[in-house]
């Protein structure tokens, strides 16, 4: 299916109509002046007091930056204390000091007419000279044409006061109206589209509107103006006159990247407006622009709503193969395949296309088992790791299956298939990448954590170290990521980016507090809320864009250097966030936390990976908790059904506590990190849990408690007797429940 292209002229005309219909009135102006508080077209004012010009760099306007450089770049405070006379702008110029005279100053505080007369009078002292009134001498002089100037015009043929007339003369007598607007715009944050071809003007106006609506990137007007200059220099009437690639080449001489990206973004938006989005436009093109395909799965970790991802089909030279591959990938993408998997699929077919060319095969009918066996050998001899080669074979197999299943082309021989044994097994798992405790001690030291400039970076680190989450899950945390169970213990709700599901992990009070602090900081900067816990710091006017994991990695690298973290050989440490996950798992297993608990805490689908951690830490898991039956102080069975994300995490939390806080006669159900408000009163505590393996201790304790009650009653200590009666009652209930429901307590004791 090929979309027939309209003749260029008709398409352009259609575009003009669409632009006219789409660009809103506020952007339909040749000079766009954003509001000073605009979140996108930011316009901060120069730091120099009384300067109303917009910041160019270092918090100073262009004029003041130049002056600061000329003075040899002094400390900024010093410069601000004495910035010198005002830079050229829109200040009110001083008028002649003679009362009633509206001409500009020339010398000795006088206008040039009064100065002339004062010189002719022999330069008398100020109080000795009776200055003549010039207003009375003739008709009232006109005021300067510049809107911010009220000085008088010196001769009738001029339109500006003397100083502004001189400024106008230096522009080679530019068109007066144009000069007036130039003077008004001088140093302001304005987008000046005057003099562009009409369609190009509309295109830029539309681009501004799109940027304003998206509220992502902050866009200083000077970037827009650089983009406008690029377009003007190219001499085009529409941004679509050049391809994206041509614009990139055209702008390669430009120093700043942002304006070029803006230009390409505007071109993209205009093209999208002309052609529309969707498969009918993209299908059949050599390059698919995935951001134009609504409805396909965007990765949960994407930091922008529609990442500019491309699939390049021109790398498949055989047209018959390319058609089939496009058809296959369209079906896969629309059925929810991830973009990464689409890339893998395309890579596999590009590789196969290369092999077909090499083997001289140019027909689907010639693809049979012997050819595929040659292809297996070809793939095996290429560069790349096991994962890449496996992906190439299994994707190609899926492709061949799809051709057969959907009857796309019946000429494919029935033997064209791979067999289960064709792909070599994965190499043995690599050795542990957990970090030495020596390194972890430096990472976790408060002094080093305080060296994070960005509190968000510090918090991300803490979460990674203490929960073992993947970095992709941490940067994706929602703003409301805290949940609490019935006992008030906190959990971090997160999205398992690998398994594509929600999960939760128990956290301690300190981490909970740190998350509250982060939420407060986010709301301070974005009072309307962001939806995400870690908004990226820059280019994020709405606050809804997430920190990317690559930004965090960059921050982490800098932090490791700042803290000078070294390994036991004194070498600087290079570590990845994922190593903390390995470390977390290994630490838990070393502390005898059951593998199944570790599996749930890490939200692994299978126990294979957890077993790997257990194996490499070389310790045996001693307790089989699944067999244990737990009873709380009310004598009720505690059902810890792993059901739903919180259920799973709650269950893991309890088990995690049990393994680490074993009491003489049972377990504490609180997470180990939480301090117990029921100090030493476990037998009356609502989170106390016990099991049949503790029956002998519970019976002993009942005997001791009954003796204590007898003694207390005899001595008249009623309060002590009452308290212990409660303990005795609880013990009775628990023992009764354990005895009744467990017919074979012996077996459970073995399990312990």
Residue numbers at the binding site for Zn ion (CB under 5 A): 46, 48, 51, 53, 61, 64, 96, 98, 101, 103, 111, 114, 144, 146, 149, 151, 161, 164
| CA distance readout (Å), 47 to 58, 222, 367 | 9, 18, 71
For residue 699, give every residue at least 6 positions away whose Cβ sits within 8 Å of its Cβ, in sequence order, or none.
735
Q: What is the 3-state secondary structure (H, E, C) of 121-136?
A: CCCCCHHHCCCCCCCC
Spacing of C-alpha 259 from chain mean position: 21
Cβ proximity to Zn ion: between 164 and 375 the closer is: 164
| CA distance readout (Å), 161 to 136, 143, 181, 276 | 19, 7, 16, 54
Cβ proximity to Zn ion: between 53 and 222 the closer is: 53
3 state SS of 595: helix
Cβ proximity to Zn ion: between 142 and 638 the closer is: 142
Look at strands 310-312 and 662-663 and give their pairing: unpaired
Rounded to the nearest whole angstrom, what is the least distance from the CB of residue 212 to Zn ion in the complex? Answer: 26
Rounded to the nearest whole angstrom, what is the least distance from the CB of residue 485 to Zn ion in the complex? Answer: 57
Cβ proximity to Zn ion: between 123 and 312 the closer is: 123
Rounded to the nearest whole angstrom, what is the least distance from the CB of residue 30 to Zn ion in the complex? Answer: 24
Cβ proximity to Zn ion: between 57 and 741 the closer is: 57
The answer to whether the beta carbons of residues 609 and 476 sit under 8 Å apart is no
Cα-based torsion angle of the residue sequence 527, 531, 534, 539 in order, rounded to the nearest 10 degrees: -70
Both tokens assigned to 48 = 């120099």
Q: Which of 586, 591, 340 is nearest to 472 (CA)?
A: 340
Task: Name the DSSP letter for residue 147.
Answer: T
Rounded to the nearest whole angstrom, what is the least distance from the CB of residue 95 to Zn ion in the complex? Answer: 7
In whole angstroms, give the CA distance from residue 599 to residue 503. Answer: 12
In whole angstroms, give the CA distance from residue 205 to residue 212. Answer: 11
Cβ proximity to Zn ion: between 53 and 599 the closer is: 53
Count Cβ atoms within 10 A of the Cβ of residue 336 and give its class: 0-12 exposed, 13-18 middle, 19 or more buried: exposed
In whole angstroms, give the CA distance from residue 752 to residue 748. Answer: 7
Counting Cα atoms < 13 Å in the Cβ hemisphere of 656 gives 25
Cβ proximity to Zn ion: between 174 and 634 the closer is: 174
Rounded to the nearest whole angstrom, what is the least distance from the CB of residue 86 to Zn ion in the complex? Answer: 8
Cβ proximity to Zn ion: between 29 and 45 the closer is: 45
Rounded to the nearest whole angstrom, what is the least distance from the CB of residue 189 to Zn ion in the complex? Answer: 13
Q: Which of 303, 306, 259, 210 is nearest to 543 (CA)?
A: 303
Look at strands 666-668 and 688-690 and give their pairing: antiparallel
In whole angstroms, give the CA distance from residue 276 to residue 268. Answer: 11
Rounded to the nearest whole angstrom, what is the least distance from the CB of residue 61 to Zn ion in the complex? Answer: 3
Rounded to the nearest whole angstrom, what is the least distance from the CB of residue 145 to Zn ion in the complex? Answer: 8
Count Cβ atoms within 10 A of the Cβ of residue 692 and give its class: 0-12 exposed, 13-18 middle, 19 or more buried: buried
The answer to whether the beta carbons of residues 90 and 182 sit under 8 Å apart is no
Rounded to the nearest whole angstrom, what is the least distance from the CB of residue 156 to Zn ion in the complex? Answer: 16
Rounded to the nearest whole angstrom, what is the least distance from the CB of residue 114 to Zn ion in the complex? Answer: 4
* Cα torsion 169, 171, 176, 179: sign: negative
Rounded to the nearest whole angstrom, what is the least distance from the CB of residue 164 to Zn ion in the complex? Answer: 4
CA angle 47, 50, 56 (to 5 degrees): 40
Cβ proximity to Zn ion: between 103 and 494 the closer is: 103
Rounded to the nearest whole angstrom, what is the least distance from the CB of residue 77 to Zn ion in the complex? Answer: 16
Q: Which of 441, 688, 439 is nearest to 571 (CA)?
A: 439
Cβ proximity to Zn ion: between 102 and 669 the closer is: 102
Rounded to the nearest whole angstrom, what is the least distance from the CB of residue 53 to Zn ion in the complex? Answer: 5
Both tokens assigned to 497 = 């980016």
Query: Which phi and psi (to 5°) does residue 647 adopt?
Result: -55, -45
The answer to whether the beta carbons of residues 51 and 87 sit under 8 Å apart is yes
Cβ proximity to Zn ion: between 114 and 292 the closer is: 114
Cβ proximity to Zn ion: between 83 and 543 the closer is: 83
Cβ proximity to Zn ion: between 89 and 254 the closer is: 89
């Amino acid at each position: 299916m090929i979309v027939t292209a309209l003749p260029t002229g008709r398409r352009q005309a259609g575009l003009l109509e669409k632009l006219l219909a789409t660009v809103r009135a506020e952007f339909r102006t040749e000079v766009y002046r954003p509001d000073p508080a605009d979140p996108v077209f930011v316009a901060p004012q120069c730091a120099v007091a009384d300067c109303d010009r917009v910041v160019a760099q270092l918090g100073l306007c262009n004029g003041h930056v130049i002056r600061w450089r000329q003075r040899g770049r002094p400390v900024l405070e010093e410069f601000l204390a004495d910035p010198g006379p005002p830079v050229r702008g829109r200040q009110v110029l001083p008028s002649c000091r003679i009362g009633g005279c509206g001409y500009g100053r020339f010398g000795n505080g006088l206008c040039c007419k009064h100065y002339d007369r004062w010189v002719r009078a022999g330069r008398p002292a100020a109080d000795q000279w009776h200055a003549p009134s010039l207003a009375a001498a003739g008709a009232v002089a006109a005021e300067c044409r510049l809107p911010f100037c009220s000085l008088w015009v010196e001769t009738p043929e001029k339109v500006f006061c003397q100083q502004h007339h001189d400024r106008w003369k230096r522009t080679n007598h530019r068109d007066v109206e144009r000069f007036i607007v130039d003077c008004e715009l001088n140093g302001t944050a304005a987008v000046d589209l005057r003099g562009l071809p009409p369609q190009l003007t509309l295109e830029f106006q539309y681009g501004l509107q799109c940027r304003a609506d998206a509220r992502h990137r902050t866009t200083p007007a000077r970037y827009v103006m650089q983009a406008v200059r690029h377009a003007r220099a190219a001499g085009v009437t529409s941004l679509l006159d050049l391809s994206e690639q041509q614009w990139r080449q055209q702008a390669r001489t430009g120093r700043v990247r942002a304006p070029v990206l803006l230009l390409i973004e505007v071109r993209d938006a205009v093209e999208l407006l002309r052609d529309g989005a969707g498969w009918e436009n993209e299908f059949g093109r050599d390059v698919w622009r995935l951001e134009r395909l609504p409805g396909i799965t965007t990765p949960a970790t994407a930091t922008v709503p529609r990442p500019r991802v491309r699939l390049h089909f021109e790398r498949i030279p055989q047209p018959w193969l390319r058609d089939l591959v496009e058809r296959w990938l369209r079906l896969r993408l629309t059925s929810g395949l991830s973009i990464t998997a689409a890339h893998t699929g395309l890579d596999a077919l590009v590789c196969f296309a290369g092999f077909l060319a090499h083997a001289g095969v140019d027909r689907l009918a010639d693809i049979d088992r012997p050819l595929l066996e040659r292809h297996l050998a070809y793939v095996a001899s290429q560069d790349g790791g096991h994962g890449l080669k496996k992906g190439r074979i299994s994707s190609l197999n899926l492709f061949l299956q799809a051709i057969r299943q959907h009857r796309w082309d019946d000429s494919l021989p029935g033997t064209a298939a791979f067999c289960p044994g064709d792909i070599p097994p994965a190499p043995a798992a690599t050795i542990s990448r957990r970090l030495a405790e020596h390194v972890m001690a430096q990472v976790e030291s408060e002094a080093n954590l305080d060296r994070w400039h960005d509190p968000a970076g510090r918090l991300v680190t803490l979460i990674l170290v203490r929960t073992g989450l993947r970095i992709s899950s941490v940067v994706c945390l929602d703003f409301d990521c805290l949940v609490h169970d019935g006992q008030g213990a906190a959990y971090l709700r997160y999205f398992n980016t690998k398994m594509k599901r929600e999960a939760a992990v128990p956290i301690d009070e300190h981490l909970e507090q740190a998350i509250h602090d982060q939420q407060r900081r986010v709301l301070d900067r974005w009072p309307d809320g962001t939806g995400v816990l870690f908004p990226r710091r820059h280019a994020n006017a709405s606050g809804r864009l997430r920190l990317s994991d690559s930004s965090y990695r960059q921050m982490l690298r800098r932090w490791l250097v700042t803290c000078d973290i070294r390994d036991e050989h004194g070498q600087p440490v290079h570590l990845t966030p994922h190593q903390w996950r390995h470390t977390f798992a290994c630490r838990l297993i070393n502390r005898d936390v059951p593998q199944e608990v570790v599996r749930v805490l890490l939200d692994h689908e299978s126990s294979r990976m957890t077993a790997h951690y257990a194996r490499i830490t070389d310790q045996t898991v001693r307790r089989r908790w699944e067999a244990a039956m737990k009873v709380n102080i009310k004598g009720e069975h505690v059902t810890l059904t792993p059901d739903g994300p919180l259920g799973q995490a709650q269950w893991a939390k309890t088990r995690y506590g049990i393994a680490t806080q074993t009491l003489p006669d049972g377990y504490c159900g609180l997470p180990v990190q939480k301090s117990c408000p029921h100090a030493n009163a476990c037998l009356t505590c609502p989170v106390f849990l016990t099991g049949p393996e503790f029956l002998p201790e519970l019976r002993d304790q009942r005997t001791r408690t009954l003796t204590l009650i007898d003694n207390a009653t005899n001595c008249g200590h009623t309060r002590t007797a009452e308290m212990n009666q409660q303990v005795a009652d609880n013990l009775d209930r628990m023992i009764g429940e354990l005895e009744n429901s467990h017919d074979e307590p012996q077996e459970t004791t073995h399990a312990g």
